[in-house]
Chains A and B, each alone.
Chain A
Amino acid sequence: MNALDHTAHGHGASEGLPSALEQSHAYAHHGGRPARTEPPAVRIALTVIALAFIGLFIGLPLITVFYEALKRGWAAYVAALIEPDALAAIRLTLIVAAISVVANLIFGLVAAWAIAKFEFPGKSLLITLIDLPFSVSPVVAGLIYVLLFGAQGLFAAYLQAWDIKIIFALPGIVLATIFVTFPFVARELIPLMQEQGTSEEEAAISLGASGLSTFFRVTLPNVKWALLYGVLLCNARAMGEFGAVSVVSGHVRGLTNTMPLHIEILYNEYQFVASFAVASLLALLALVTLIAKTILEHRLAEEDR
């Protein structure tokens, strides 16, 4: 904590002080304009280019989504959202996201705890495996589950005997989503828990706290903002995942279509208003995530102080 404290201060100083010094230095020698400041025209041009770029590639599509969704008026927008297939897709997305977030919350905490606080054989392998979903294409991830659990898959006979359906059903979608989102919580927690070390836990136990009590009173509060941050990113990805889910879902309307899949189908059927209406919900989710992320980053920075 101390070390962080210092680096935080160090940053502030190194950003503020030298630039101020440089400026006064420059003023002294040039008698007016600071030497390292570009002419106003250049500054304005750069700002305009940057803003135009962001506007064109991020702002415009976002506006288009809402514009297209509301083009036929509010009634058509609402109608597209309360249509049974759309509601089914929203419900499925929420269920899948809820299950995968909870699963990855638990897995992330357990993995981060184990990696940060203990030494065990296979630790570096575990760290590498956690990063795997980041480096594997989601389509490949989906395909793996099809190969394992599909009709021609490795466990096909076994699954049929017990009448368990995984592929083209909810379990497959959940599995694919968990796979794709599982690094988020663990990756957020591991560096923080490693930096915090084990001495606070040792202190808690020496004061008579049980393992569980130590976890809930000391370990968890120390990582709560980072945990929330990880959950937030995990949730956003879980709701928006297309590739992996597309492979395992089977696109059964009203049954195995999540929101991104539903959007694609509507779009392919030229139902643009309906398609953009559902898309606007995902866009709203992105905006909410962004705001929450900003707030959490602020809290995390405060915790470090």
Chain B
Amino acid sequence: MTIDVVGVTKRFKTFTALDHVSLTIRSGELVALLGPSGSGKTTLLRIIAGLEWPDTGEVRFDGEDALSRSVRERNVGFVFQHYALFRHMNVFENVAFGLRVRRGADKLPEAAIRGKVNELLSLVQIDWLAERYPAQLSGGQRQRVALARALAISPRVLLLDEPFGALDAKVRKELRRWLRHLHEELPVTSVLVTHDQEEALELADRVVVMGHGRIEQVGSPAEVYDDPATAFVHDFIGETIALPGEVRGGALYFGAHALGLDPQGVADGPARILARPHDVDLADPGSTPFAGKVLAVRTFGPTRRADVELAGETGAVVVEAAVPHGQTLEPGTRVGLLPRRYKVFTSPRAT
């Protein structure tokens, strides 16, 4: 099912949670809404579900207006952040709930309910836990129950709010793979909210990066990582080295020193040159756009980082550069920084 969100705005008192957000989610795809807390991603998910109503804007399911229907009538499977399992029902009854509350012609006979629930429990690989109560389950098992329960109503869309947020790192990784696998088996349109970029990039067909109630970029995991549309996306996803600069007359400068880098069409004024650590080479200080003194070198696991102090007219700027494997760098020496791939953005401080 295709979901269209058109110009949705939502305010909570004075806080604008969503600011004219428009988004199209294609049928059968798995989309991740990624952003820091307060970016409006959960609010958007709850509006799609019908648990929250927008102040203005439209939500359409397959072209039909969804806002005129309540969450009951939208047929969405919602997986809550803390699972929200019914604590007084065992696993089987939790999953059966959506089938048991049906009325009239939709009501299934008991045998059909049992069959469907057992099928779902084996799909999520917890059929052996059917008699247990939520309090007796581990976090990962609860997650699977919540998913089976949401799938029981054969939803047109599956909405997941921070589905792995409460799990430890190892279980999280395992469940993530499994969810991706499940999505391929049951191609139901799925929207996932997460603040974990690794999760979004690994799981999703497309990633929607959100910040301050707006959509910053929509793209494939590779696009948002390799070609960030805004400085926010660049900063938020992956590691970023921020180099200072200024655009004057269509060229990039650091102080009085011309950098010889492409300003990428950015207008005159203070700018930020953003690059991935692995896209910045360390080289001979004489030949590179940036040069500075090494303050310290840190090693953690396979990566090494050097704090390099760039002296400018307006004061020193310390940037963190990646030190390639096999290269040694002594604190106190001078080193040059050569960004091979980079993006230039106007500096937010300028405006």
Residues of A within 8 A of B (CB): 1-2, 5, 199-200, 202-210, 213, 217-218, 221-222, 303, 305
Contacts and interface: CB of A to CB of B under 8 A. Distances in A.
Given A203-B149, A208-B153, 9 more contacts: A5-B135, A200-B87, A203-B80, A203-B85, A205-B70, A205-B72, A209-B98, A210-B72, A217-B86
Contacts of B280: none
Interface string B54-87: 0000000000000000111001111010101111
A202 B150 CA distance: 12
Contact of B78 (A200, A203, A222): A203
Given A1-B135, A207-B98, A199 B72 contact: no
B72 A203 contact: no
A217 to B, nearest CB: 7
A2, A202, A207, A221 — most chain B CB neighbours (10 Å): A207
B298 interface: no
Nearest to A4: B135
Given A200-B87, A203-B84, A203-B86, A209 B97 contact: yes
B86 A208 contact: no
B42 to A, nearest CB: 12
Interface residues of B, number: 27
A218 B71 contact: no
Nearest to B79: A203
B88 interface: yes
Contact of B86 (A2, A204, A206, A213): A204
Contacts of B152: 207
A123 B108 CA distance: 42
A165 B216 CA distance: 71
B171 interface: no
B101 interface: yes
A205 B87 contact: no
A3 B149 CA distance: 23
A206 B49 contact: yes
A233 B78 CA distance: 39
Judged by DSSP, the binding face of A is helix
B51 interface: yes
Contacts of A207: 97-98, 101, 149-150, 152-153
A270 to B, nearest CB: 55
Given A199-B82, A206-B71, A217 B97 contact: yes
Given A209-B72, A209-B97, A213-B101, A202 B86 contact: no
B80 A199 contact: yes
Contacts of A200: 84-87
A222 B85 CA distance: 12
Contacts of A218: 86
Contacts, number: 69
Q: Identify the 9 closest CB pairs spanning chains A and B, nearest first.
A: A207-B98, A199-B84, A209-B101, A203-B84, A206-B78, A221-B88, A200-B84, A206-B71, A199-B80
Contacts of B102: 208
A253 B50 CA distance: 61
Contact of A1 (B49, B51, B70, B87): B87
Interface in B147-192: 149-150, 152-153
Contacts of A199: 80, 82, 84
Contacts of B97: 204, 207, 209, 217
30 contacts: A5-B135, A200-B85, A202-B51, A202-B71, A202-B80, A202-B84, A203-B78, A203-B80, A204-B86, A205-B71, A206-B49, A206-B50, A206-B72, A207-B97, A207-B98, A207-B149, A207-B150, A208-B72, A208-B75, A208-B98, A208-B101, A208-B102, A208-B153, A209-B97, A210-B72, A213-B101, A217-B86, A218-B86, A222-B86, A222-B87
A303 B135 CA distance: 9
A288 B134 CA distance: 33
Contacts of A203: 78, 80, 84-86, 149
Given A207-B149, A305-B135, A222 B98 contact: no
A182 to B, nearest CB: 27
Most chain A CB within a 10 A radius of its CB, from B51, B101, B152: B101
Interface string B232-269: 00000000000000000000000000000000000000
